[in-house]
Amino acid sequence: MEQIEEKSKYCLNCKTKPCQKGCPLENDIPSFIENIKNGNYEEAYKVLSKTTVLESICGRICPHMSQCEGSCIRGIKGLPTDIGSLEAFIGDLAIKNKYSFGDDKKTLINKKVAIIGGGPSGLTCAAFLARKGAEVTIYEKYNELGGILIHGIPNFRLDRNIIKSTIQKIIDIGIKVKYNMELGKDIFLQELKSQYDAVFLSIGANISGKMGIDGENLNGVFGGNELLEHNIHPNYEGKKVAIVGGGNVAMDCARTIKRLKAKEVYVIYRRSEEQMPAEKKEIEDAKKEGIKFLFQNNIVKICGNNEEKTVNKIECIKTKLVNKEGETRAIPVDIDGSNYDIQMDYVVMAIGSKTEDNVVQGLNVDLSSRGYIIVNEKYMTSIKGVFAGGDLIGQKATVAWAARSGRNVANEIEGFLGRSKSGQKCPKRDRPM
């Protein structure tokens, strides 16, 4: 407790609140920290709960240095305020002491809303709608809620008990959950639309992207998102594994596979280390765990053999150097004649994700050329009363941004149901994304 108080006193309580501007959820950081200074922990929680319901989670896994802490005035000449630890402390204390959320006007009494997907976006949307009095039901594909929190972030980064206790606090608001209900298989959009006043699609976009190079379909080439989601891995013991990509998914895959006794794990990234989108702490942790990095290397081909008849196995990956030493061009430029081979047993693609085509195409909503659901400025799809957010519409793929999207959608659903009740017309659909 003394350590927490010392951390809170380090905050300057800036009037301009640059940390709040750096937070995707726009949490009122100076105000909640000021309440910690004064020992008003429940009030600190009420300040946070105006904008978030994932304090214990975001406080631990958000890329703070590229968000709130990276905007902290203290960080100009020294270390920034440890905002993450303070937020996690208040979130944990709220769960332990059963603090209530702040008072919300019950504007949605007798309104029914279906949420498809129980990840950060769906959970946040459900919480804010339920606090406004709506009858909310979450339809979840798996037998537990959490989405990427459970099926994407490894245990060593986020304890499962923290996830479960945070989710339980949300469910206890009065939210119904129907498990093992997969969209397009067990439930259908048109059916839900006829049963609810509004529907929110928040199933995420977790299909691993590909590079479009020869050999990507060989046996032994995996998608990073799928490995983390399903937690089904080959036997890595004594094997060499290449992770292609530079984001947090790449770091999570590399660190997970290293723990599964791979002999050597390489992260291969086509840009410089300074341009990696992964959180710096995750990169440093990966290095400490013995993971090797090949920067400014671009894989051009995955080679295989047919010695086992129909089974193509990885033989090597062909790589070429990118840019001259010291160059950090925004668009990497291959160096002619720099090709070389690296012997690998497995390759994991962690270069981004996309929507599940067979699911989104069956919804009969307008899609972008990249397969994302098109929404207007109110997050409404081309179907009246059906909303979408988070990864599904191509927004930034972090927990905080997904939660922000869910909160925004809750506000738009509240406005939509109010307009519907008063007979006002819904906004004309646009294509901003």
Collapsing DSSP to helix, strand or coil, 200 comes out as: strand
> Under CATH, domain 2-97 is a member of which superfamily?
Alpha-helical ferredoxin (1.10.1060.10)
Using the predicted structure, report yes or no on whether residue 246 has a pLDDT greater than 90. yes
343-363 residue pLDDT tens? 999 999 999 888 887 788 889
Contact 56, 399 (CB under 8 A): no
Average pLDDT for residues 226-238, to the nearest whole number?
95
Give the C-alpha separation, 220 to 126, whole Å.
39
Region 170-183: what's the mean pLDDT? Answer: 97
Query: Do the Cβ atoms of 314 and 328 come closer than 8 Å?
Result: no
Domain map of the chain by residue range? 2-97, 112-205+355-422, 209-351
> What pLDDT score does 335 carry?
82
384: CB partners within 8 A, 6+ apart: 426
Mean pLDDT, rounded, for 217-235: 94
Are domains 2-97 and 209-351 of this chain identical in fold?
Answer: no
Alpha helices in 186-329 (DSSP H): 189-195, 224-230, 248-259, 280-288
* Position 328 confidence tier, pLDDT thresholds 50, 70, 90: low
| pLDDT tops 90 at residue 374 | yes
Tokens representing 2 are 């003394």
The pLDDT-based confidence of 324 (bands split at 50, 70, 90) is: low
What order do you get walking across the sheet with 297-308 strand by strand?
297-308, 311-321, 340-342
Q: Which of 138, 142, 128 is nearest to 192 (CA)?
A: 138
Percent of all residues in the chain with a pLDDT value above 70, rounded to a whole number:
91
Q: Which CATH superfamily is domain 112-205+355-422 in?
A: FAD/NAD(P)-binding domain (3.50.50.60)
**Overall fold of domain 209-351:** FAD/NAD(P)-binding domain (3.50.50)
Neighbours of 173 (CB within 10 A): 17
Highest mean pLDDT among 166-170, 355-359, 426-430: 166-170
Cβ neighbours of residue 86 closer than 8 Å, sequence gap 6 or more: 4, 7, 8, 32, 33, 36, 59
Cβ–Cβ under 8 Å, residues 239 and 228: no
Is the pLDDT at 430 greater than 60? The verdict is no
CB-side neighbour CA atoms (13 Å) of 420 = 12
Q: Cα-Cα-Cα-Cα dihedral of 412, 94, 41, 48, to 10°?
A: -20
pLDDT at position 312: 55
Mind giving me the DSSP string for 119-156?
SHHHHHHHHHHHHTT-EEEEE-SSSSS-THHHHTS-TT
Is pLDDT above 50 for 97? yes
pLDDT tens digit string along 300-315? 899 887 554 434 556 6
Residue 313 has a pLDDT of 57
**What is the Cα–Cα distance from 429 to 384, expressed in whole angstroms?**
9
Q: What is the pLDDT of residue 370?
A: 86
The least confident of 154-158, 206-210, 281-285 is 206-210
Write the CB contacts of 276 (distance below 8 Å, at least 6 apart in sequence). 246, 247, 269, 283
